[in-house]
Chain A
């Protein structure tokens, strides 16, 4: 069955430190992938997307993600975290010919220490 795993439920990093959030997926065909961010009480905001081509994609707010087919991963990174990055982050995966339906990971909550 198709699935998306975010192994880390909660991560705490210090402000200014680098960040990597993990996402692994299990899909039979070529997936397309997204990262979304959710602040408390808000809806989900798109950070970045990968459909094809360059496997390193840039997003908003200084985030980037790298698609690694051999590892079935799409990890999100940021070189220097800001206190305003504290939020919940969701990885989502879609597959060709599935009508745009997405499977979401369970989310990773990011806390930022001053």
Chain B
């Protein structure tokens, strides 16, 4: 079955380190999204991509970057991790506009 996976599922890192969270989908979806989930804020969009070599900033993009070198993967990089980036991160993909987004299981990141 097609799916969307995230790795690692849990990560502890130190302030200032670079961290990369992986997202891989096997649906061949063009659209991919990264969100962070924090208490009281729901899900907030970090970055998104509509296809290979396309990336766009979302609502809370400062301190994050993404790259899209193939259809299946959209890794999220924290250039220099900060304690404010402690959160649960979700990746999602969708076939196109007007189609639902399907979510990965999430990565819980703690920045000490």
Q: Are B98 and A100 in contact (CB under 8 A)?
A: yes
Q: Are B41 and A100 in contact (CB under 8 A)?
A: no
Q: Are A100 and B101 in contact (CB under 8 A)?
A: yes
**Stretch in B42-50, B60-68, B76-84 with 4+ CB within 8 Å of A:** B42-50
- Residue numbers in B under 8 Å from A36 (CB-CB): 103
Closest Cβ–Cβ distance, residue B86 to chain A (whole Å): 17
Task: Write the B90-112 contact mask toward A (1 if CB under 8 angstroms, else 0).
Answer: 10101011111111111000000
- Residue numbers in B under 8 Å from A99 (CB-CB): 31, 48, 50, 97
Closest Cβ–Cβ distance, residue B53 to chain A (whole Å): 16
CB nearest to A42 among chain B residues: B105
User: Which residues from 33 to 87 on chain A have a C-beta closer than 8 Å to any C-beta of chain B?
Assistant: 34, 36, 41-46, 49, 51
B contact residues, total (Cβ < 8 Å): 26
Given A32-B98, A51-B98, A106-B40, CB of A100 within 8 Å of CB of B31: yes
- Residue numbers in A under 8 Å from B58 (CB-CB): 101
- Residue numbers in B under 8 Å from A94 (CB-CB): 97-98
Q: Are A100 and B99 in contact (CB under 8 A)?
A: yes
Closest Cβ–Cβ distance, residue B49 to chain A (whole Å): 10
Q: Which residues of A contact B (CB under 8 A)?
A: 32, 34, 36, 41-46, 49, 51, 90, 92, 94, 97-102, 104-107
What 3 pairs between A and B have smallest CB-CB spacing?
A43-B103, A100-B97, A106-B42
